[in-house]
Amino acid sequence: MPTPESTGNNAPIQPRLDAPHPQALRRPHLLTAWQRLPLQPAARQSTTEAARILTATPHSSANTHATPSCHDILQEVFGYSGFRGPQEAIIEHVIAGGDALVLMPTGGGKSLCYQIPAIARQNAGHGVTIVISPLIALMHDQVGALLEAGVSAAFLNSTQTYEESSQLEAQLLRNELTLLYAAPERINTPRMKGLLTSLHERGLLSLFAIDEAHCVSQWGHDFRPEYRSLSLLHETFPDVPRMALTATADALTRQDMIERLQLESAQHFVSSFDRPNIRYSIVEKLDPTRQLLRFIQTEHHGEAGIVYCQSRKRVEEIAGMLEEAGLKAMAYHAGFDAKIRQQRQDRFLREDGCVMVATIAFGMGIDKPDVRFVAHLDMPKNIEGYYQETGRAGRDGLAADAWMVYGLQDVVNQRRMIDTSEVASEEFKAVMRGKLDALLTLAEGTRCRRVSLLGYFGEASEPCGNCDNCLNPPAVWDATEAARKLLSCLYRVQQASGMSFGAGHILDILRGKTSDKIIQYGHDKLSTFGIGADLSEPQWRGVLRHLIASNLVASTLMHSASGNSFNTLQLLPDARQVLKGEASVLLRQQAVKAKGERTRHSSKSSVKTSVKGMAEATLNAGALERLARLKAWRAGVAKEHNLPAFVIFHDATLRAIAEQAPQGLDDLKGISGIGEKKLTKYGADVLLACADTARSAPPNMPPAPDDSDMAMRIDMDFTMDLQAPDWPE
Ligand SMILES: Nc1ncnc2c1ncn2[C@@H]1O[C@H](COP(=O)(O)OP(=O)(O)OP(=O)(O)O)[C@@H](O)[C@H]1O
Ligand SMILES: [Mg+2]
Ligand SMILES: [Zn+2]
């Protein structure tokens, strides 16, 4: 595995297996510990206690009135009418002083699970909630969103000047904050420890919320060593309630996280991981750049999306290609300096219809609601990574696509990255291989993708009707005979020449091609020469990919004396069963199309109206006009406040306002996304924007570019560059 690099403050490094384990330092039971707090009454983890806290006298100057229920906070502060899934149970439990482990999918709504308790507990005099988050680049917007909603929040991180930090620290000590966001490395500084101790002594340390908690585990897909220092929280402040939140939930990571953060006695809240509005598709990788462009232009023209690539080089190539094709595309990887990364992230969040082409360094915690697609041009390392990356699509609950192209090279490269890693131990490699195999099984599989994905997270489900395999059940062919031919060919070649060869050569032998190399080695004399002339080369590549993915064949990187590197194929022990006819091989029929033909997915959905199109098509002309004016007004406010537009109001909120045609402030009450603070602050302006008839109708969507034209502008093929994979930031 190439050496990962430091990415500024987050500086992720290689997993280590020998790190100390804080198992011995178990925290005393919550109830006893809680009673030791001088200013806090004995808390019971019950809804009665939650109700008591919710109805307590307000304490902080930041929140000026008591809120009788968490529903009221949801409605009044955030403007939402109901909780999602287990949010309410989690919130009540945490308000009552209970510890919690919250597993909820990406975009599931974890933030409210600590923000509402933070407000309720501050109102009841319990002080500030400390949110530990690795997402420095997002803290400004996260805090901005809370301030917009009227919640007193701030962040402390390395981007601030000494004066700014000092001012915030003073505010913190005066108990003027409801939430303070801080990076994990910050928590362990003597200065921060001093602040926390001072608050704690006065009973003003209300709650620790550890976001992206999987970062504490080396088995999670983005381990951050700084998270290990969070053992400080339960060691130094054992009586302060803690909650850990993550979207990563495979059993191994979960267990490690619980032990590292000492959450054994915490209540575990595990939500369904289903994201029903996301359509999963995994297509054969034929001509990836061209496939991507076609996918975006036919299905998501003008819409925001993220394209993940494995290497920085590829990120830049693809972003350049999309830009040339007229899309608002940007490249993002950890090789760019922090300022450029921040600018591009801000543009993606603030401007409509941008496509971010990125390594995995981009995306964690991004709360842009209208990302309509996440495309993978290279396969991720494991299902957790894939699920978290795809989960960034469709956070607004509207239809979105998770689309991946996948091919032989992906399997070979990912395997090799594990095998050649010099820093990882054998135990670590074995776990990584297992995780990769699970992803390969998903990619190769013919059953419902959602059933496979949820199954990986331990959740049973029924076929979804909203993935490629459900919508277009793939034809399956019995490839046992073909597999046996390929395996025997490998065997014969090895036997005859005493060495192994690459895929191209083996497939040439099977297909009976007389290349110079075949003549040179006498491989045209082998009994397997020409026995596979009935299948095309792409079909053979499909068979080979499956055999590699199923661990029947290994692809090994060799280095010649002249310094060249090449792949060679070897039989693995499990191949014996297939060779002896004891196991069969079933493969999905490949959608091998001539160049220029549409794939099944895109031809089917070429008639599909875009989500944006559909949503706005339901509005009448007057509402459309109001919507355009509201968007223009929102853009001005967002710019003035230096925040993304969706922080002011989500699109869905503006659409609801436009549809309502409000005449007075009362008409705005109850619209999802309009809390009390926003109603007071923006209500009059919103009414004004709705009433204004002076401006013209919204501009039409630009027409989709001509398909044939697009083919001219793309580069056709390149091999995967394995250098410098990034780490999430
Ligand atoms: N009860 C609710 N009603 C309406 N919208 C909600 C509700 N809860 C959360 N949301 C919205 O859902 C979106 C996603 O929420 P949030 O950012 O908390 O996700 P998350 O679980 O933290 O995801 P990630 O793992 O990606 O960080 C936000 O825009 C939020 O405002
Ligand atoms: Mg989050
Ligand atoms: Zn399905």
Is residue 728 included in any domain, yes or no?
no
Which range is least confidently modeled, 161-170, 226-235, 255-264, 711-720?
Answer: 711-720
Residue 36 pLDDT exceeds 60: no
Domain count of the chain? Answer: 4
Q: Which atom of ligand 1 is nearest to the CA of 397?
A: 12
Is residue 163 included in any domain, yes or no?
yes
Split at pLDDT 50, 70, 90, the class of 617 is low
- Domain containing 487 equals 477-589
Instruction: Kindly report the CATH number assigned to the domain that includes residue 337.
Output: 3.40.50.300
Q: What is the pLDDT of residue 291?
A: 96
Q: What is the mean pLDDT of residues 3-22?
A: 30
Split at pLDDT 50, 70, 90, the class of 546 is confident
- Same domain, residue pair 528 and 580: yes
Domain boundary among 422, 446, 472: 472
Q: Could you list which residues have their CB under 5 Å from ion ligand 3?
A: 448, 450, 464, 467, 470
CB of 112 shorter than 6 A to ligand 1: yes
Let me know: does 45 contact 99? Beta carbons within 8 Å. Answer: no
- Same domain, residue pair 47 and 173: yes
- Same domain, residue pair 398 and 481: no
Nearest bound ligand to the CA of residue 450: 3
Residue 605 pLDDT exceeds 70: no
Cα dist. 234→180, 216, 271 in Å? 18, 14, 25
- Same domain, residue pair 386 and 483: no
Is residue 21 included in any domain, yes or no?
no
Is residue 33 included in any domain, yes or no?
no
Give the strand pairing for 179-182 and 100-103: unpaired
Which range is least confidently modeled, 29-33, 184-188, 352-356, 684-688?
Answer: 29-33
- Same domain, residue pair 434 and 492: no
- Same domain, residue pair 466 and 481: no
Split at pLDDT 50, 70, 90, the class of 727 is low
Q: What is the pLDDT of residue 616?
A: 54
Split at pLDDT 50, 70, 90, the class of 243 is very high
Write the CB contacts of 77 (distance below 8 Å, at least 6 apart in sequence): 116, 119, 149, 150, 151, 675, 676, 677
Domain boundary among 439, 472, 505: 472
**What is the whole-number distance in angstroms between the Cα of residue 664 and the centre of ligand 1?**
29
Domain boundary among 270, 297, 315: 270
Which range is least confidently modeled, 200-204, 246-250, 670-674, 700-704?
Answer: 700-704
CB of 85 shorter than 6 A to ligand 1: no
Is residue 582 included in any domain, yes or no?
yes
Is residue 447 included in any domain, yes or no?
yes
Instruction: Kindly report the CATH number assigned to the domain that includes residue 490.
Output: 1.10.10.10
**What is the whole-number distance in angstroms between the Cα of residue 108 and the centre of ligand 1?**
5
Q: What is the pLDDT of residues 677-717, one digit of tens each?
A: 999 999 999 999 998 754 444 444 333 333 333 222 222 22
Instruction: Kindly report the CATH number assigned to the domain that includes residue 650.
Output: 1.10.150.80
Which class for 706: exposed (0-12), middle (13-18), buried (19 or more C-beta within 10 A)?
A: exposed
Q: How many CB atoms lie within 10 A of CB 274?
A: 17
Written as six digits, the tokens of 394 are 């469709």
Is residue 217 included in any domain, yes or no?
yes
Q: What is the pLDDT of residues 444-477, one digit of tens each?
A: 888 899 999 998 888 899 999 999 999 998 888 8
- Would you call 355 helix, strand, or coil by DSSP? strand
CB of 247 shorter than 6 A to ligand 1: yes
Pocket test for ligand 1, best of 210, 384, 395 (most atoms within 8 A of CB): 395
CA–CA separation, 648 vs 633, rounded Å? 10
Protein residue whose Cα sits closest to atom 1 of ligand 1: 83
Is residue 114 included in any domain, yes or no?
yes
- Same domain, residue pair 321 and 433: yes
Q: What is the pLDDT of residue 461?
A: 93
Q: Which atom of ligand 1 is nearest to the CA of 82?
A: 1
Which class for 629: exposed (0-12), middle (13-18), buried (19 or more C-beta within 10 A)?
A: buried
- Same domain, residue pair 224 and 288: no
Q: What is the pLDDT of residue 423?
A: 77
Residue 13 pLDDT exceeds 80: no
The pTM of the full predicted model, rounded to 2 decimals, is 0.76
- Same domain, residue pair 626 and 573: no
**What is the whole-number distance in angstroms between the Cα of residue 135 and the centre of ligand 1?**
16
Q: Which atom of ligand 1 is nearest to the CA of 81?
A: 3
- Same domain, residue pair 440 and 508: no
Backbone angles phi, psi at 164, to 5 degrees: -60, -45
- Same domain, residue pair 87 and 129: yes
- Same domain, residue pair 642 and 523: no
Closest CA to 226 of 198, 275, 188: 188
Nearest bound ligand to the CA of residue 466: 3
